[in-house]
Amino acid sequence: MTIRTIEAGPSKRFFVEMLPRDISLEHAVLDLIDNSLDGAIRQRIDKIRLNHPAPYQDLFCELSFSADSFEIKDNCGGIPADRIEAALKLGRDDPSIDNDKPTIGMYGIGMKRSIFKIGADSTVISRSTSATTRVHYDRAWMDPGNPSWTLDLDETAPVRDGHGVTIVANELWPNISRTFSSKSFFDDLVRTISRYYAYVIEKGFSIIVNGKRIPALPIEFRFDERNVSPFYYEATSGDVSVRVIVGLFRKLTKEDEREEAITSNDGLETGGLRAGITVVCNDRVIKYADTSAVTGWGMGAVPRYHPQFRSIAGIIIFESDDARTLPVSTTKGALDLDDGTYVVGLNAVMEGIKIFTDYTNKAKGREETTDAVIDSAQKYSISQVTNTLRSSARVVRNSKGAAKKVTATLPTIEQRNPIGRIAFTRDKSEIERVAELLGLSPSEKPGVVGEQVWTDLARKLRVID
């Protein structure tokens, strides 16, 4: 028998060529923003622990990109000298790093994967209170056929201020260059950042893209203590705290999407607020306005999402000092649906969704009075809802004190005669002729024409005024 020793280490080709294919360019950029955000969390952990309303004030992450270059820089503290090697390694050896802070980084691959995705030649510069460090990923190192993993660290004395990380892609891959030159990529990235980082932007963190400060598109709930307020739930599952809010964010009837759209002071179009359930892990949005079974729609007694439910929004928030206990994948774009902690949040959000879908079903056709109440209610942020309802939350039966909730308050639905639905079909030419006789446009919707005929005849018969 012969025993041979083989090299079973990682393949350079897998890491620099294959691994980046797992994520889109947009996700690669978001991973780099997450890197800055984790630095911000380390910098402001004391304020975060004290529930300061704006713990990230004055901290920023700034991106600049074009067909020729990419740069991202922040002022979030930089990488300490004793952690620089771990930060540059592909994969995290020490799982205890940052396991006492609510960061989102878990496995130590996000920043490097993004660098490999974007450029063939990149430089990382870190300025911290303990050192200024520079590392260069050149074409030779990035060559998939090069087996060497060695990097040269250029270390100099620390600077007094300007502590943060700067990543520059000196040479973009051709496909990345084309995408960065596209206006549609810029527009899509702005919309994504405004939604996925709304939670931290509201807490003072600034994200700037090509000179434009990105506004938050926050999740808000209509709140009037007497007439309309959200469903609220909080629990502890292992080392993770879980918070769920489901409520109404707008009136029940449909609005013109153009009126719902939000434009920033810089003229950035972020789109309008959307119905659905958002999932947040340690201040980072993982799913935004989701209307699939992932967040409970169409599961159990909860109906599938339908435009009738356009006024319902909700959020599931998972928080933990150990990011490994969060129900999220390494790409931060998917959730671990079998994770016990996620199931706790899912069950709670389904309870909340069911309350509001039942309500909208009962209010169908009678939205006039409910809309007035909802429109007059104030818009409450997630923190405002939490601060208002947490004190009145009652322990959930059989939860052994681990879960508390507050049921929703909903506007009274006007009681009147039962309503029925009339539906029939006619030739299009006949509908157009009737529309003309009624003084309507021949292109008017058939439903409008039919309702006008009904109304005119009902008045003639003195059934209605």
pLDDT digits (tens, 9 = 90+) for 28-59: 999 999 999 999 999 999 998 888 989 999 99
* Arithmetic mean of pLDDT, 430-434: 85
Structure confidence at residue 259 (pLDDT)? 44
The CATH number assigned to the domain holding 294 equals: 3.30.230
What SS3 state is found at 371?
A: helix
H or E segment to which residue 30 belongs: helix 25-43
**Residue 419 in domain:** no
**Residue 312 in domain:** yes
**Residue 413 in domain:** no
Query: Do 316 and 239 fall into the same domain?
Result: yes
Query: Do 208 and 316 fall into the same domain?
Result: no
- Of 213, 229, 258, which residue sits at a domain end? 213
**Residue 23 in domain:** yes
- Of 160, 195, 213, which residue sits at a domain end? 213
User: Across the strands, what pairs with 350?
Assistant: none
Query: Do 328 and 441 fall into the same domain?
Result: no
Domain count, the chain: 3
pLDDT digits (tens, 9 = 90+) for 199-214: 899 999 999 999 999 9
Helix axes 446-460, 428-437, angle to 10 degrees: 50
**Residue 417 in domain:** no
For residue 279, is pLDDT > 70? yes
Q: Kindly state the DSSP code that residue 18 receives in the 8-state scheme.
A: I
pLDDT digits (tens, 9 = 90+) for 90-100: 766 555 565 55
Higher pLDDT pick, 420 / 453: 453
H or E segment to which residue 345 belongs: helix 340-363
How would DSSP label each residue in 126-138? EE-SS-EEEEEE-
Q: Cβ(84)–Cβ(133) under 8 Å? A: yes
Structure confidence at residue 257 (pLDDT)? 45
CB atoms within 10 A of CB 267: 7
Q: Which two tokens stand for residue 359?
A: 């309500």
Query: Do 363 and 244 fall into the same domain?
Result: yes
Q: Which two tokens stand for residue 189?
A: 């990235």
Apex CA 402: angle with CA 397 and CA 405, to 5°? 60
Query: Do 97 and 235 fall into the same domain?
Result: no
Domain that holds residue 387: 221-406
What SS3 state is found at 240?
A: strand
Number of helices (H), then strands (E), in the chain: 15, 19
Higher pLDDT pick, 431 / 185: 185
Query: Do 182 and 87 fall into the same domain?
Result: yes
Higher pLDDT pick, 351 / 448: 351
Q: Kindly state the DSSP code that residue 376 receives in the 8-state scheme.
A: H
Lowest model confidence (mean pLDDT) among 115-124, 139-148, 244-253, 266-275: 266-275
Query: Do 23 and 156 fall into the same domain?
Result: yes
Cα 167 from Cα 78, distance rounded (Å): 11
Query: Do 275 and 390 fall into the same domain?
Result: yes
Cα 345 from Cα 337, distance rounded (Å): 10
Structure confidence at residue 424 (pLDDT)? 77
For residue 418, is pLDDT > 80? no
Cα 123 from Cα 137, distance rounded (Å): 6
**Residue 5 in domain:** no
Query: Do 316 and 381 fall into the same domain?
Result: yes
Structure confidence at residue 280 (pLDDT)? 93
User: Across the strands, what pairs with 136?
Assistant: 123
The CATH number assigned to the domain holding 60 equals: 3.30.565.10
Residues contacting 231, CB < 8 A, separation 6+: 244, 245, 246, 247, 351, 352, 355, 356, 405, 406, 407, 408
**Res. 426 pLDDT band, cuts 50 70 90:** confident
Query: Do 204 and 330 fall into the same domain?
Result: no
Burial of 99 (0-12, 13-18, 19+ CB in 10 A): middle
- Of 213, 238, 255, which residue sits at a domain end? 213
CA atoms within 13 A on the CB side of 196: 20
**Residue 137 in domain:** yes
Query: Do 39 and 179 fall into the same domain?
Result: yes
Cα 190 from Cα 186, distance rounded (Å): 6
Nearest one of 18, 29, 320, 395 to 179, comparing CA atoms: 29
User: Across the strands, what pairs with 365?
Assistant: none
**Residue 276 in domain:** yes
* Arithmetic mean of pLDDT, 248-264: 64
Return the exposure string of 333-350: e unless at least 16 CB atoms fall within 10 Å of the residue's CB, then b.
Answer: bebeeebebbebbbebbb
Query: Do 41 and 166 fall into the same domain?
Result: yes
CB atoms within 10 A of CB 421: 6
- Using a pLDDT cut of 90, give the percent of the chain over it: 51
